């Protein structure tokens, strides 16, 4: 990932035919790429995890059920319960491991799927924020912006990844404007100066790496 430019995590981690592939994005955050008609057999985890599908569609196999997870959807993997994942179409997803001590919004439930862009509304003339989950190493939140609203220039004391979920906005980073659209990503360096202005109603997920 390169700070200060628009890119696509999904495209940068394209799958290889007939293979599964993984690579570390940050500590405890891994990008998985599964080619069509591949699977990862059941595994049991000792902490809850988040699977966030960036491209394609996959099925989580848990408790004798197949649970579909599509682009832009988040699935909370239960601890101590075997779970598999497979795909017919191909899929790229993030796996985020929770630390022992963490806080999770009670809107999220283990073993369920959530479409991130549907979790919070766009309010006329407002910017809306929803914290999802955080632990000692990371914080994940959602934000929605009505057209014409935004955030003035500021900096965060951590590296951050933006996941554009819906609409279009301009991110001004270190004085340079960048237009971002649904499906694209942007990285801020720790203490990097940035501002956001929504050109249309706009929703994004923000992952802060502490």
User: Which residues lie closer than 8 Å to 106 by C-beta, 6 or more apart?
Assistant: none
Q: Which residues of 186-206 are buried (b: 16+ CB within 10 A; e: fewer)?
A: bbbbeebebebbbbebbbbbb
Confidence band of 204 (pLDDT split at 50, 70, 90): very high
Question: Does position 1 have pLDDT exceeding 90, yes or no?
Answer: no
Instruction: Indicate the pTM of the whole model.
Output: 0.94
24, 76, 97 from 31: Cα distances, Å? 6, 16, 12
Quote the pLDDT of residue 9: 96
* 103-147: pLDDT as tens digits: 999 999 999 999 999 999 999 999 999 999 999 899 999 999 999
Q: Provide the token pair at 27.
A: 């500590």
Q: Is the dihedral of CA 47, 53, 56, 61 positive or negative?
A: positive
Confidence band of 69 (pLDDT split at 50, 70, 90): very high
Half-sphere exposure of 202 (CA within 13 A, CB side): 27
* 14-50: pLDDT as tens digits: 999 999 999 999 888 999 999 999 999 999 999 999 9
What the chain holds in terms of domains, given with CATH numbers, is 9-115 (2.60.120.10), 119-209 (2.60.120.10)
């Amino acid at each position: 990932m390169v700070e200060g430019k628009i890119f696509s995590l999904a495209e940068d981690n394209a799958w290889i035919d007939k293979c599964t592939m993984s690579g570390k994005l940050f500590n405890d955050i891994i990008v998985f790429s599964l080619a069509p008609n591949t699977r990862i057999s059941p595994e049991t985890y000792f902490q809850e995890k988040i699977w966030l599908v960036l491209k394609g569609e996959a099925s989580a196999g848990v408790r004798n059920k197949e649970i579909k997870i599509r682009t832009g959807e988040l699935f909370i993997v239960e601890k101590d319960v075997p779970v598999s994942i497979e795909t017919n179409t191909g899929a790229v997803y993030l796996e985020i491991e929770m630390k022992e001590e963490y806080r999770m919004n009670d809107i999220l439930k283990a073993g369920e799927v959530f479409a991130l862009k549907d979790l919070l509304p766009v309010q006329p003339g407002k910017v809306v924020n929803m914290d999802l989950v955080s632990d000692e190493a990371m914080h994940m939140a959602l934000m929605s912006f009505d057209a014409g609203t935004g955030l003035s220039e500021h900096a965060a004391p951590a590296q951050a990844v933006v996941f554009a979920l819906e609409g279009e906005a301009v991110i001004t980073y270190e004085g340079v404007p960048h237009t971002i659209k649904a499906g694209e990503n942007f990285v801020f360096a720790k203490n990097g100066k940035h501002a956001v202005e929504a050109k249309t109603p706009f929703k994004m997920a923000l992952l802060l790496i502490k």
